[in-house]
Amino acid sequence: MTLIKDEEAERLIDGLPLKMPRVKSVSTCNAVNMLSSENVTSPSDLPENGIAAQDGYAINIMDGAMNYTVKDSAVELKPGEATYVGTGWTIPSGANSVIRIESAKVDGNKLFPIKDPKPWGDIEMSGDDVKRGSIIIERGKMITPYHISLFSALGLRKVKVFDLRVGIINVGDEIVKCNSPKKGIRDSITPLLKGLMPFASFRTAHAPDDKTKIVSLIERFSRACDLVMTIGGSSVGKKDLTKDAIKDVGEIVFEGVQTNIVKRGGVGFVNGTPVLSLPGRIVSAVTVFHVHGLHIISKLVGSELRKYGEVSLSEGIVVRHSMNSTFLFKVEDNSATPLKWGAGLYSQIIKANAFARLERNRDYSKGEKIRIQFLIKS
């Protein structure tokens, strides 16, 4: 197996002639966790009109006034007049301040301010929150529950999102479904991948160690999906047939990289669709997905989904491996604590929220800065 440098793998993915995924229009109420396919701009100011920021009395300030005449209701206030308003109510024309209810003494139809009213005090002006035409979410960004609330407040009923379709093929005679009572190795990676991509729809399948069947599934999925992922069969053993299967119907862009844990992760190209080969071990599968899978998806949607940072090591690390290695970390308060090293440690991937590539034959000191990539955490 030919292994290339990580930087070369980045360059090759950047050079892939990827096709933009399909786009669909969905109800804004159902768009949470999807990826916006366009810059969404505000159709109006928010608030559209001046509103009261507190319960109290809207007034039209009159210089030297000791009290104000309270109107039961008013569309317009003249100098020296006031009317009750609740939080979020549109203030009447002419009003230029709100006196909080706790700062107002009312006797009959007279309002006596306890404090001198401040011009425009406790009034949210038109567009104070969001200006008409401003971008409220960029193309390729994930729509969060907070965006849904804003869309609703602005009266947006529909939003266009990427209809990203992902095929997942788990390979191996020994593999059984994730919740199967049968003996074998339960598929613990497919449900994980689906959870990491709430913005996608999926086709999933299991293939035995039979190259003809693997080829058939890759061929079929590559024509229906924007990205195909295979799990397992990516190493160099007798039953590792995945990359040969990719070669039979397409091309191998690269077989792997010169970094432990992620080294068996490769990328192919079949019928114009990228095919990501994930190792069958949990830590390897997760980190390869974050390194290469998120890179591919970022290129597909035109927005960087990977998140990086620079943190300090909470303790020293001695790397005595034959090649550069991927380490898991738990990052808190800009400090990274290394976790137990290994390709198949479920307990560690649960604890981790980041990983990093460390150089071979290096002694890293406590407090030394390293560059990390954050794991997706729901």
pTM confidence score: 0.90
Tell me how far CA of residue 56 lies from CA of 69, 92, 108, in angstroms: 14, 13, 16
**Rg of the chain over all Cα atoms, to the nearest angstrom:** 29
**For 165-175, what is the mean pLDDT?**
94
Which H/E stretch holds residue 244? helix 242-249
Residue 378, pLDDT score: 65
Residue 184, pLDDT score: 85
Higher confidence at residue 44 or residue 233? Answer: 44
Residue 11, pLDDT score: 98
3-state secondary structure of 146: helix
Residue 239, pLDDT score: 65
**Residues 354-365: tens digit of each pLDDT:** 999 999 999 999
**Residues 80-120: tens digit of each pLDDT:** 999 999 999 999 999 999 999 999 999 999 999 998 999 99
3-state secondary structure of 149: helix
DSSP 326-359: EEEEEEETTEEEE----SS-HHHHHH-SEEEEE-
Residue 180, pLDDT score: 80
Closest to 27 measured CA to CA, from 133, 161, 134, 135: 161
Q: Which domains does the chain have, with CATH numbers?
A: 3-22+164-301 (3.40.980.10), 26-45+134-159 (3.90.105), 51-124 (2.170.190.11), 308-373 (2.40.340.10)
Rounded CA separation 255/265 (Å): 7
**Residues 200-244: tens digit of each pLDDT:** 999 999 999 999 999 999 999 999 999 999 999 766 666 679 999
**For 9-35, what is the mean pLDDT?**
97
